[in-house]
Amino acid sequence: MTSLIDQIKADRASGTEGPWGYGRTGEEQRLILSQGGKGRYVCNVQIFQTPRHMGLWEEDSREANARRIARLPDLEAAYIREREAAEEHLITTLEAIARGDDSLDGMAGDMATAALTAYRAAVEETAA
């Protein structure tokens, strides 16, 4: 199974580069555009004004949705960066403990080895 991180990286490599922004083309739609040098079209978000008493998809929520979509490349980059940094720190720490680079007697190394094994298995299971 492909991990979530691998899927995001593949989509980032083949999709439209970020950062993205959005602009108004009229009262009914917002265009999501790449600001990554080419100003490429990404998608369009329809902004329909329904009667307020129905409470369905009022313009304010759709306007917010367009802004949220436009933030996606930045959020993906931050997620990948933070996930990989946390993973590296955890693995480095657990490997050091497993080698005995700690002041505790024996049990810490066994616990660290078990934790590292469980972490690696969990990442493979939940990342798909």
Q: Per residue of the chain (128 residues), what is the pLDDT tens digit?
A: 678 889 999 999 998 888 898 887 766 678 888 886 566 888 887 766 555 556 555 567 778 888 899 999 999 999 888 888 878 877 877 777 777 665 545 566 666 677 777 777 766 655 54
In this prediction the pTM is 0.65
CA 111 to chain centre: 31
Question: Can you give the C-alpha Rg of the chain in angstroms?
Answer: 22
Q: Are 116 and 98 in contact (CB under 8 A)?
A: yes
The residue with tokens 């917002």 is: 30
Q: Are 55 and 63 in contact (CB under 8 A)?
A: no
